Structure 1
Amino acid sequence: MDTFTAPSPSFLGPHHLVHRPASPEAFLLKATAPVRQNFAFSAELPEEHPLFGDSVSPYHDLLFPVESLRQTMLFAARRYFRVPESWHPVVASGGAAITRLDAWRRGGLRAGLALELGVTPLDIVNGVPRGLECEAAVSIDGERCGTASARLVFLAQGVYHNHRVLGRRQSEESVAAGDGDPASPGVPLPEQVGHRDGRNVLVGLPEHTGGDGEEGLAFPIDARAAAGLRLEAPDAPDEVPPMLFLEVSRQVGLLAAAELRGFIPSHAVLSRWQASFRGFAEPGLPLHCTVREGVRRTDGRVSRDAAGRPVVDLRLSFLQGSRVVARVSASVLQDC
């Protein structure tokens, strides 16, 4: 068992990581065979963070365990799987779910987060993986209460650069053709997206859309605000950070659930999130999110979870112009 404290980005703060190697050689050589490896991560859930400490919600946020998982995967890739520093990490997909809501309630005391992670190498060439897949069980104060997952791919710098150039050109052409941000009628109050401080509001009020007989909402996104929220990824400072998509999903999810189903944002929680990324969102270009409700009941009533609480399922698309950069399925639960 290899125990250490990984380099601590300001986002995570103090934390601890334990490697549970699959072979004695991995313990001795500080490197592993390209097979699944297990890790244990622990930290205190943050209370003073400018984003998390600003919540009007009585729940801990999914964002912290998901970012903890991503950074653990990056550390494992470099230290244990010998992925070269020159290869650029890209989040291909990610997800998280709350399986026991009571454990996510803030109790006024510091809460401990633990992740049990299994990291599997993918597309192995000469013993080095071109990708990693991770699944994790999430526990708070010793109670298992959620899941998280992600898939990373590692691109050579030339391949990464070509993807960025092509995507930016497509977005610029689309925006120039008139496929820009929706015209927002204003900015929501912070409490409408679960915050107290207006600087944490990343979206505008929605514009109602329609098409194929299906009503939807379109939200402009202020991607520049990510730096102020410390969501930027130190490994890719010139990219729109992956965690922006999760935080925006939460904000538009609360707004959409209130608009479509009358949920109260201060008692609503993003309980499930599953994203697939189709390209890079480029800083400096308009970014917006469209939201449609998932499959609705034939009687028009809201769906409910096993405990009888109302749940609305949503489908989100993130676009620059008409170019889709990410698709998300999400659920918002009303605790009542």
Structure 2
Amino acid sequence: MSVTPELAFQQTIPRRLVHRAAVAEVFLTDAVVIGMDHFLVGAQWPRDHALYHPDSQGRSDPLLFAETIRQALVYLAHWHYHVPLGFRFVGRDMDLEITDPGALRVGSEPLPVTLKARWTRVGNDSPRRQGMKLEVVLTVMGAVCGRGSLTLFAVDEKYYRRLRRRTGQDDRPTGDPVARRQRVPAATVGRLRYKDSVLVQGDTAGEWLLRADLDHAILFDHPTDHLPLMVLLEGFRQLGHLLVHDAEVPQSERSPSSLVLLTTECLAWAELDEPTRLLVRADSGAREGSGARRLCIEAVQGDAVVMASEMVWAPDGRGVSEQAAGLLCPLGS
């Protein structure tokens, strides 16, 4: 009879193994092998966080789940699959689903969460390029409450520079193309601090601009030469919150909704020094019966779609239902 190894939650793993500069931004605590390409990964989510704070109903931020998936894939790549630390990781697509939002309610202690993970190789590996996908099931205190996946490829520095067609180390722009425009108030996008807002009103209806502070200690934990996946996800989430929680409706009459499904596809590099427009391509409105709202949003630079996303927001802490989870539009359309 086999015995499943127990996960430890006493301390975080080394920050370099999840590509984080700040120890405070490391959520993983342990990982154990339970079979060929199968793992259990442990993490501890904070009761509060400067950016990923609980919502108005006291539930953990869904993007904590997204960041935990990202950290889990990077950690397993280095720890178990021996991908060199100097490799660059480039995202391809990500999805997550919260099936039981109530299980994410923050209590009197930090939440110990477990990912049951399966690793798959993607494409043909070479010494300089490796493709990988991690699929996970999220459990909190033994209760299954979500699922997700992340696909990316890792390349060595020379390969990365050829892909980027750039020279130098971590080039950063000298100016912000939308610096003169004020970000929308933090409260309208579900954030607490002005500097955490990343949205600026666009020039036309249904258009917004992504304006993230390059010195933000969490969104830009370390220097980078492009907009990271988690920054773009934050822009999508904030725009979803803004659209779902109509500021013109009195707060006492609003029905709080939470993000329960997020699907994204990375289609091109998102440059730091190019204006990034967020375009609402489809909005279902609240569905009668389920009350769920589905949004399709694209991040566009110039004429190129750099990322496409679908989101489902559900009221009253409900999880994804079959009625709410169907795709409203094809990604990248």
Question: Could you give the per-residue CA deviations for residues 21-74 of structure 1, whole angstroms, max 9, x where no partner exists?
Answer: 53xxxxxxxxxxxxx512222222123421123754532112112212212211
**Counterpart code for 2:37:** Q
The answer to which structure has the higher helix fraction is 1
The equivalent of 1:214 in structure 2 is none
Q: Counterparts of 2:78 and 2:116 in 1: how far apart (Å)?
A: 19
Is structure 2 residue 218 aligned with structure 1 residue 230?
A: yes
Task: Within 5 Å, give how 1:30-41 maps onto structure 2.
Answer: 37-41=37-41
Is structure 2 residue 86 aligned with structure 1 residue 105?
A: no
Q: Is the 8 A contact 1:303 1:312 kept in 2?
A: yes
Is structure 2 residue 232 aligned with structure 1 residue 245?
A: yes
Q: Counterparts of 1:44 and 1:326 in 2: how far apart (Å)?
A: 29
Q: Is the 8 A contact 2:189 2:239 kept in 1?
A: yes
The equivalent position to 2:277 in structure 1, one of 285, 288, 298, is: 288
Structure 1 counterpart SS, 2:300 = strand
**Counterpart code for 2:230:** M
The equivalent position to 2:261 in structure 1, one of 269, 272, 275, is: 272
Task: Within 5 Å, give how 1:159-308 maps onto structure 2.
Answer: 159-165=159-165, 187-209=183-205, 217-225=206-214, 227-232=215-220, 234=222, 237-259=224-246, 267-294=256-283, 296=284, 302-303=286-287, 308=289
| Structure 1, unaligned runs of 5 or more | 23-35, 167-179, 210-216
Q: Counterparts of 1:284 and 1:149 in 2: how far apart (Å)?
A: 29
Check 1:105–1:267 CA distance in 2 against 1; reply closer, same or farther (3 A cut): farther
Check 1:165–1:224 CA distance in 2 against 1; reply closer, same or farther (3 A cut): farther
The equivalent of 1:171 in structure 2 is none
Q: Counterparts of 2:117 and 2:250 in 1: how far apart (Å)?
A: 34
Question: Could you give the per-residue CA deviations for residues 90-116 of structure 1, whole angstroms, max 9, x where no partner exists?
Answer: 111111111112212334543222211
Q: Counterparts of 2:300 and 2:185 in 1: how far apart (Å)?
A: 24
Q: Counterparts of 2:117 and 2:303 in 1: how far apart (Å)?
A: 36
**Counterpart code for 2:80:** Y
Task: Say what the alpha-carbon RMSD is for the aligned residues.
Answer: 3.3
Identity %: 20
Question: Could you give the per-residue CA deviations for residues 123-181 of structure 1, whole angstroms, max 9, x where no partner exists?
Answer: 34479972111110112232211111000112343442233238xxxxxxxxxxxxx87
Q: Is the 8 A contact 1:121 1:129 kept in 2?
A: no
Provide the TM-score with structure 1 as the length reference: 0.75
Question: Could you give the per-residue CA deviations for residues 215-259 of structure 1, whole angstroms, max 9, x where no partner exists?
Answer: xx111111335x42512365x633312111221111000112235
Tell me the CA shift for residue 14 of structure 1: 5.6
Provide the TM-score with structure 2 as the length reference: 0.75
Q: Is the 8 A contact 1:203 1:252 kept in 2?
A: yes
Aligned positions, number? 292
